[in-house]
Each structure stands twice: as C-alpha cells, then as structure tokens.
Amino acid sequence: MLRFILALLALAGLASSASAETHSGGGETWSIAIHGGAGTIERSRLTPEKDAEIRAALQKALDAGSKILRDGGSSMEAIKAAIVLLENDPNFNAGKGAVYTWEETNSLDSSIMDGSDLSAGAVAGVSRTKNPILLAEAVKDKSPHVLLSGKGADQFSKEQGLEQVDPEYFATPRRLKQIKDFKAKRVSRADVDYKFGTVGAVAMDQKGNMAAGTSTGGMTGKRWGRIGDSPIIGAGTYADDRSCAVSATGSGEYFIRIGVAQEICTRIRLRFPAAIKEAQLSVPKDADGHYKYAIHASEFMLDDKEIQQIADDVIADMGALGGSGGVIIATPWGQAIYSFDTKGMYRGRATSEGENSVAIYGNE
C-alpha cells in the first residue's frame, strides 16, 4: 500500500519516496489471482476426473504463489512460481501442452511486468526455452529491450543460461490431433480447442508491489508468424503499482485492439490523482519542503463492485468488436478479481483476508 501511495505522489511530483511517510496503511495485505484460460468450458465437456485434475493443478499453482506472498516474498517471485507450474502442466496451452501452429510446430509467447518501476519483458515465437516466462523475465532484467522474437529470442535464452529443451518437449498427442482436425476442416478452431488455455498470474505483495505475467502457445493453427496479445505489454499483460495488475486470455487480436490490460489499469488509475492531489495540499511540509506525510490512498479506494464494473466494461468493449475471453486483476487494495464473457475460465485466487479458491465454470 505504501508503495502505491508513494507512486501516486511521485507521479504528481508531491513528495520524494525518501521523505514521505504515511498516516497508516501498509501491513500484511497481499493477493494473487491465476488463470489457465477461458472458453466454452462447461460441465458437460469435462469428465469428473479431468475436472478434479484441473482444479488440483490450479490449486497447486495458487498455493505456490500464495506461500511466497504470505512469507513476505515479492509479487514477481509469486507470479513466476505459479506460471512455471502451469507451463509445466500439459493441461494448459503454455509451455508443455502448447497448441500447434499451421506448420505443426509449437511456438510460444510470454510476457512479464513489474508494477513498481513499469519494467517489462516479453518473447514471441520461441521454441527452445522450457519456461518462457523466465525468458520474458530475462529480457526484462538482462537486456535493454522489451520484446524479443523467434530465433534471436531463442539465442538470447541460451546465452542467459536458461533451461533449454528440444522443441519436441512441447509436443503432446492431444494437441497434435487438434491441429490435424483443424486442418482437415472437419472442425473449427472453437471446436478443436473449446478454450483459450493461456496461463497467467497477477499479484500484490506485502510491500504493495504489483506484478503480472502471461504465457501461451497462442491459437491452434496460427500461421505467418502470428503473434497474439499474450506477449504484448498493455494488451495481454500489464502491471502498475498505481492501479492494478492484469493478465488476459482470449481471442488475442481483439485484446490487442482494445489494449485490454492497460485499459483496465488506466481506468482505475485515472480515478485517483485529482482527489489525492487535492487532499495532499492540506498536509504540512517539513524544513526541506517535503510533505510530512502522504495522504492514505485507502480513503480513495475503489470497492470490489467498482473494479468489477471497470473490468466488465472493458471486456464488453472487446466483446463488441467480436472477441471473447477474460482477465484476472489484482489491485493495490488487495483485491483479486475476475472478469470473463465466456462460459468458463480456469481460475483461482487467494488473499491475506482468507480467500483461497479455484473455479472452472461461470456459475461457481
């Protein structure tokens, strides 16, 4: 929380982070949300065994992230831990289990963003890194760039010493059948793969820092080097301590056109600066001319309903263009929120307030 307030003040040029103190706030608040894709996920499509398997996988990823946050770890570490587990699980369209391209290869996209400094990294069309989310992080931390693609990204991965695998590692018989069926035009993309199985996580840690990450195999049958929203900062992933952290899943083209992830964060952020700036003006200054304390942002917090409305509005805008899918959102106030226009979304959330649940279908 403190970081959030300071970020707001820094933005408004009101206080330096070294001198400002807060009235109250901070504490042990944390939250995390994860997803494993959205789509026409209905009870009739999943066997009880599959249903249980997916729930267990989501819970495992959620638990890994929650533990890090509960123990005082960073939101970046928490989202990475959750995403790596989901990437390694063939049930999801990310890492092992990624869908196939038209050429019957697996081509992976991923991105990550740190809300404390807006640093970001992403990769598109990689095929040799076991965990693309770790490569996205390496791009963020070890390169001067934000987005690397194809062979160059694979080479960078090797140079960074990340775990390399043969492209065959990502291959699974279930996904191979999907692309064969798709190409034979016996079924549409929606029928072969009734969901977008992209994975993602968003979190806020006890310092109030937000992080978001997304990883995917993209869309079945993608060709011509198609890249979706998942590695596009602002579309599939966004994090900003001043507003929120978002990870998306769905028909990427539409998420790119709306800039879904950043649009949600921006709508949240723009509710605040004016009100906080005004309140801050009444706070006395110290000898150095810095405000003696920072106004506590919780006075201006948006409640769950308001965040939900903002997210639903942006998803509706995306849907109006013809797309579908969903998002997970973490806020600086410790909320973990979902919004999706599909029948279901593989999802989970946990907070310091005691929330800890996973869900699959829309009506649960």
Q: Given the complex with ligand ASP, which of 9 and 54 has the nearer CB atom?
A: 54
Answer for the pair 281, 355: CB distance below 8 angstroms, yes or no. Answer: no
Q: Given the complex with ligand ASP, which of 127 and 351 has the nearer CB atom?
A: 127
CB of 93 to ligand ASP, least distance (A): 5
Q: Given the complex with ligand ASP, which of 228 and 334 has the nearer CB atom?
A: 228
CB of 131 to ligand ASP, least distance (A): 17
Distances (CA, A) of 48 to 40, 188, 252, 343, 359: 17, 25, 30, 18, 14
Q: Given the complex with ligand ASP, which of 9 and 248 has the nearer CB atom?
A: 248
How far apart are alpha carbons 195 and 198 in whole angstroms? 9
CB of 207 to ligand ASP, least distance (A): 30
The residues binding ligand ASP (CB under 6 A) are 37, 93, 196-198, 216, 218-219, 228-230, 249-250, 252
Nearest-CA neighbor of 238 among 79, 63, 26, 71? 79
Nearest-CA neighbor of 34 among 339, 261, 349, 262? 349
Distances (CA, A) of 24 to 27, 282, 293, 297, 351: 9, 17, 10, 10, 20
Q: Given the complex with ligand ASP, which of 98 and 244 has the nearer CB atom?
A: 98
CB of 127 to ligand ASP, least distance (A): 15
> What 8-state DSSP symbol labels residue 115?
T
To the query of whether residue 249 is one of the catalytic residues in this protein, the response is: no
Q: Specify which residues 35 forms β-bridges with.
A: 200, 347
Size of the chain, expressed as the number of residues it contains: 364
CB of 276 to ligand ASP, least distance (A): 34
Q: Which of 198, 216, 331, 342 is catalytic?
A: 198
Q: Which residues are catalytic?
A: 198
